Structures are given as structure tokens and as C-alpha cells.
Amino acid sequence: MAQYTRVSGSVGLITLQSPPVNALSAAVRQGIVDLMQRALSEPEVKSVVICGQNGIFCGGADIKEFGGQMSGPPLIPMIHAIEAASKPVVAAIEGIALGGGLELALGCHYRIAHSKARVGLPEVTLGLLPGAGGSQRLPRLIGVPAALDLITTGRHVTAAEALKFGLVDQITDHNTVNVAVKFAQRVADQPLDARRISTHPCLCPSDVAVLFEEVMQRVRRTARGAIAPIACVQAVRAAATLPYNQGMERERELMATLFTSGQARALQYFFFAQRAVGRWSMPSGARWDTSKPRPVHKAAVIGLGTMGRGITVALAQAGFSVVAVETQEKQLMEAKQAISGMLERGAKRRGVAPALDKINYGRNIQSVADVDLVIEAVFEDMALKKKVFQQLSAVCKPSTFLCSNTSGLDIDQLACQTRNPELVVGMHFFAPAHVMKLLEVVYGPKSSPLAVATAMQLGKKIGKVSVAVGNCRGFVGNRMLKPYLEQALFLLEEGATPEFVDQVLEEFGFAMGVFRMSDLSGLDVGWKVRLADGLAMPDPTMGQPTRLRQGRRYSPLGDLLCEQGRFGQKTGRGWYQYDKPGSQVAKPDPWLHSFLDEYRARHALVAHRIDHQEVLERCLYSMINEGFRILEDGIAAGPEDIDVIYVFGYSWPRHRGGPMFYAATVGLNKVLERLEHYYQAHPDVPSLQPCHLLRKLVASGSPPIQKWREVIKKVRSQL
């Protein structure tokens, strides 16, 4: 909806009214069309101002409408009508003007922005392009290079940057609507021809063809299979090379392809999934809207290895006072230097002062006595962690939240070491912790809603996407990774190479295939866990059959590599070879290929031809199957939680929506049928056995992903 008021006698003020972000729903578009007609027909009105209510100009097209039948006046003719108006129209931009919101403003003759406003064309992040003339008007207004940057990245720019680009005409620190009204009065009699951006020529640098080629290459390299960034470049190229009307036609064609694509559906699902994870719930019934967090002013980090350092930086950068504790003198010195470096580099990038003074370093755990929340980040060893929790419980205020950065150990066992187990939760960061967006907040059976709410809020304050998950081995992310890694090893045993498996996964859209990723993270990390679990055998003569553990198929390939000191990038050898330890350029390793041949011969394994489909199906469907088990067990509240964890923590390609959304896209019956097929072929691999929830969903007619929670509820109530 939109409201009309006449101000200062001669200005028609149109206010968009559609909380929370004044998105351009059918009703809002109808309001704008009607009220523009009214303003143009009233003889007393000499100029028009368009603004949004509650200090927000407009968040763009209403994304919720994209899934259904579109009704109401279309956006493009509406914006053309504004541009063609005989009276000056001024956009008063407060808060945000994004996507269709900015396109609306570009149809206006003038743009006045508040100094705190942000503008941008983020359509590419939704699998679209600026399809209401934005791809044609923006390059005409600010030039091809700047427009390409904004449209292909979707980044938001500040009002100051927008002014520099010439994207807005004026910025103000005062009431933007008042300033715009005065401005509108001043320009009431000015000629409008030169203000209609669609009539401007698109000024191109002399080497524009080279620029397009370079940008297209960069976009193809980084898009990981996403089609929208490529279409965005094509649309801007149309602006640069075609007259406006033909450019608009090209924009429409490209938009039609994107609009109906699976990628746009996936990215729009993911947009809402990111927001849905904030509305967390626990099986006890505790929820985000009924659980109040407690403010945290001062936090502590225990253990300043790689993870502890990143967590300290994340907290300090967000303005928290941090006590950073490391008991080893040498480690502490190295950590201080590394943390200061990270803070300085981050501050330089963001143009702010480094938050060095936010951190107090210490070697003694006593120094955390007065903090509100502690994050333990010591080595991944249960005995060590238990000891730290006992100490913390003795030293800290009784109200202090005690959190562990464990990546998969039992939170409950840690809680049991403390006086107040209800204040214990997991805060599982991902490396590098000051960069990666994901935080798994893990509640154990004793964790209180207060502790979960506080950890979730802290995560938000330090810029993380936080997902609340239940306590089990590996939580959500690492639990699902296990069958994925396992299948990758089995594929090697059966004839594949690391290069082939990685190539298939990277073509699917992962930033890195499973073997390159293992080399990067270090093969020794998982090996130590397997040794502790009694799975990896330090001595092969100890009685267990090499390829079987507890009646299940087991691949010792990773253990064998570790026994040879091949830990990945850090040792210069792993699944690949590297020029030197620490190098990141993975090269196929003939030694590894011979090693695999010998291994197969030793175990009488006959290599067979493994194709693209088998790699994808076995790696991904076994992981997805575990995702369904996680939902069935109540470890994740819904598929969105899993998808957000996988996109932000495990580089799952966002344009495929996440593993659970991908399963829905493939078709649950197909996933089920293929799992049954592979389980029949490998009955000693339980992770391939389709789980109950998957069967139930298929039996319920494979409902859309938004309806899965209803089936999950039923399945859980029957357990």
C-alpha cells in the first residue's frame, strides 16, 4: 500500500507502506500507480516526492510473490511512467533502497539520500538480475565499470559512495523527506529531459570490450556454476552496446530465463532459510521468542591456538572486552602477535582503528573470574576439556556461561563437570573463526533456554549466522560429513582417483573437493580422533580385519597415509603432492596412484569404472540420508538449519540451496531409490540404508520442503 499527502501546498508526497521493508508487493505497486496519477492530475501539485514509511525507502520486489502467480501492475511500466512524468519526481532514500527499490529511485528524476542509507542491486544473490530497468539505467548513470561491480556482486554501497558514483544527487544528515520536499519545490519548474536516465547515452571506456571479457572470465571463475552473475554481465553488455529499448528487451529475455530457473528458486529459498534459523526452537518447547538472552559485556577465550585466536579477534572486533588465556608462554607470545596482526589487517580493510585495547592476555585461568561468558578452545581432547571446565566452574562467577568450541565432543559430559550445567552450551566456530560466518550453538540435555538465547545473541553480535542444534557426535555439520568422507574413501578403494572425485564435486559447485579439503584441514586431525575412538589401528597386527570395524565396512586409507607422515598441505604430501610444505597448489601424485593400486591388489579389490553420477550420488545422498536422520532425531529443528550450516560452514554451493533443498529438487523418491540401490550393493555400509524419515516423506507424497516439519513432527511423536 501507499499513502498520499500534500505537503507545502505544491508537493505530492507518496509514502510506501508495507512493513517491514516496504517491499514492492502488488498492493504497493497499485498504490504507486494510483497515487502518481493523482499527483499528476492535481493542478496545484508541481512536483512529487516518493519515500518509505518508518525510515526505510524500499527493500525491492516482494520476494515472497516470486513463487506464485504474479498479479497487480507490473514494475517496469510503473517505473517508465514515473520517468516519463511531466512533473519532477524525487526519491527520498532513507534506510535502504535495494533491488527494485533502487530501480524505482532510478526511474525518479532526482535522488536524495540520508547519509546513513545504503543502496544496491542485490538481485544476483537471489539468482536474478536487476530486471526492472536497473541493468540498463545504472550503467547509463554511473558508467559501465562501476555498474558491473555493483550488479555482479550485489554489494550494498553507502550513501557517501553512492554520491561519489553520481548515483544520488545529494546526501543529508537531516530529515530526508523534508530535505527532498524542499528540493522538489526548488526543481518544480526545471526541464526534465536531461533527468530521464533511459535517454542518456551509455558512456563506455575505450577498452570496454576488454573490460567485459575480463569481468566475464572472473565471474565464470568465481561463480561455481551459478548462472545469474553471467546473465548480469550480459545484461550490462546490452546496455553498453544497444539502444535503450533493445537493451530492455535483452534484460527481459535474460530475466525470464533466470526467473524460472532452479537456481533462483534455491537462492530465494536460502534467503528465507537464513532468516528462519534465527527463530530457533528446542525439543523441550523453548523458543527464540520466549527465551530472553542475558547481556554479555566481557568474555574470555581459553586456549589460543588457531581457533582461539580467530574467536578472540571476532569478539574484539565486535567491541567485546576479551580476556585471552593461554597457559604456554611461547604459544601466548605467538598468539599475541598473530591476533594483533589479524586485528590490524582487518581494521585497515574496514578503515577503522584496530581493537587491540579490547584484549587482556593472561597465562592464568584465574584471570577470567569476572567475565560473563567463556569460550573454551583448547585442544580437541575430552580429558583436557573436562579439566578446563572443572577449573572454570571453580573460578568463574556462578552466573558465567561456559561454552566449548568443540567440533563434535559431548557437551553433556562437559556440563557435568560444572556447578551450573544449565549454563553450558557448545559454540562451534569454523576456521578461520573471525572470517567464517557459521556458528553452531549446541544445546545439551541440561542447557537452559537462557544459555542458548545468550549464545545465539552473542553470535549475531559478532556477525555470525548462528544455528541452534542438539548434542550428538559431530553435531549437524561434522556428523553429516562423516558418511560423505567415508564414501569418498570407498570410491578410491573401488577404482576412483582423488582428482576425479574432487573434479566431480567441484563441478557440482563445492569450492573444494573432499580430498583437497582434507589436505587443507590436515589429515592428522581426523586420524587422532579415529585413534582415540579405537577405529584407526596403530598396529595392523592387532587382530581387527583391516577393512571392517564393528561389522561395518571401514577404509583405513586415511590412516595409512598418516602413518607415512602424509598430513596434507602442511607436510607437502597428502592425497596430492605440493611443491613444499604449506604450499596450496595441489598436484596429482604418482606415488599415491601406485599406493592405491598396491592397496587394491593387497585386498583383492577389482577396480571398476566409476562415473560422475556414482560419485555424486554416493557422496551426496549418503550425506543427505544422515541429514534426514538428524531431523528424525531432533538434532536440527528443520531442513533450513541443515542447509544454512552446509552453505556457510562447508562451502555447499548456495545456488543449490543446501543438501536438503537439493534432495527436494532431485526428488525424494529418486534419492530413496538410489540409496536403496547402493545399499543393496554395499550392505556393510549402514549410512547408505535409507532412513525412516526419508521413507515416510516419500510415502507422504514428497511434500514441498516447507511442509517437511509437519511430517517430522509426526515421525518424532511416534518414536
Ligand X SMILES: CCCCCCCCCCCCC[C@H](O)CC(=O)SCCNC(=O)CCNC(=O)[C@H](O)C(C)(C)COP(=O)(O)OP(=O)(O)OC[C@H]1O[C@@H](n2cnc3c(N)ncnc32)[C@H](O)[C@@H]1OP(=O)(O)O
Per CB under 6 A, residues contacting ligand X are 20-21, 23, 59-64, 75, 96, 98-100, 103, 122-123, 126, 128, 130-132, 134, 255-256, 259-260, 272, 275
Q: To 5 degrees, how large is the angle CA 78–CA 82–CA 87?
A: 155
Q: Which is closer to ligand X, CB of 29 or CB of 566?
A: 29
Cα distance between residue 302 and residue 324, in whole Å: 6
Q: Which is closer to ligand X, CB of 72 or CB of 305?
A: 72
Q: Which is closer to ligand X, CB of 66 or CB of 595?
A: 66
Active site residue 123: yes
End-to-end CA separation in angstroms for the chain: 47
What is the grid cell recorded at 281?
Answer: 526452537
- In the complex, what is the shortest distance from the CB of residue 276 to ligand X, in angstroms, rounded to a whole number? 7
Q: Which is closer to ligand X, CB of 21 or CB of 517?
A: 21
CA distances from 538 to 327, 527, 535, 543 (A): 30, 10, 9, 12
Q: Which is closer to ligand X, CB of 61 or CB of 596?
A: 61
Cα distance between residue 262 and residue 268, in whole Å: 10
Q: Which is closer to ligand X, CB of 267 or CB of 596?
A: 267
- In the complex, what is the shortest distance from the CB of residue 256 to ligand X, in angstroms, rounded to a whole number? 4
Which one is catalytic: 83, 94, 123, 614? 123
- In the complex, what is the shortest distance from the CB of residue 123 to ligand X, in angstroms, rounded to a whole number? 5
Give the residue among 491, 505, 504, 477 at the shortest CA–CA distance from 555.
491
Give the residue among 215, 219, 254, 236 at the shortest CA–CA distance from 137.
236
Which one is catalytic: 103, 251, 376, 632? 103
Cα distance between residue 417 and residue 386, in whole Å: 6
- In the complex, what is the shortest distance from the CB of residue 393 to ligand X, in angstroms, rounded to a whole number? 37
Q: Which is closer to ligand X, CB of 4 or CB of 271?
A: 271
- In the complex, what is the shortest distance from the CB of residue 490 to ligand X, in angstroms, rounded to a whole number? 40
Q: Which is closer to ligand X, CB of 134 or CB of 649?
A: 134
Q: Residues 295-311, buried b or exposed e (16+ Cβ, 10 A)? A: ebebbbbbbbbebbbbb
Active site residue 632: no
**Positive or negative CA dihedral for 317, 320, 321, 324?**
negative
Kindly give, in sequence order, each residue whose CB lies less than 8 Å from that of residue 607, ignoring residues fewer than 6 positions away: 494, 495, 600
Give the residue among 255, 231, 200 at the shortest CA–CA distance from 61.
255
Kindly give, in sequence order, each residue whose CB lies less than 8 Å from that of residue 144, ignoring residues fewer than 6 positions away: 202, 203, 204, 205, 208, 211, 236, 239, 240
Residues linked to residue 440 through DSSP beta bridges, in sequence order: 428, 467
- Cα-only R_g, the chain: 28
Q: Which is closer to ligand X, CB of 131 or CB of 657?
A: 131
**Positive or negative CA dihedral for 416, 419, 423, 424?**
negative
- In the complex, what is the shortest distance from the CB of residue 235 to ligand X, in angstroms, rounded to a whole number? 11
Query: CB–CB of 383/407 below 8 Å?
Result: no
Number of residue whose CB is nearest ligand X: 99
CA distances from 571 to 129, 487, 519, 580 (A): 44, 25, 9, 8
Q: At 432, phi and psi to the nearest 5?
A: -75, 130
Cα distance between residue 143 and residue 191, in whole Å: 23
Helices and strands counted in the chain (H then E): 29, 19
Contacts 24+ apart (CB under 8 A), 532-539: 532/381, 536/562
Residues recognised as catalytic: 103, 123
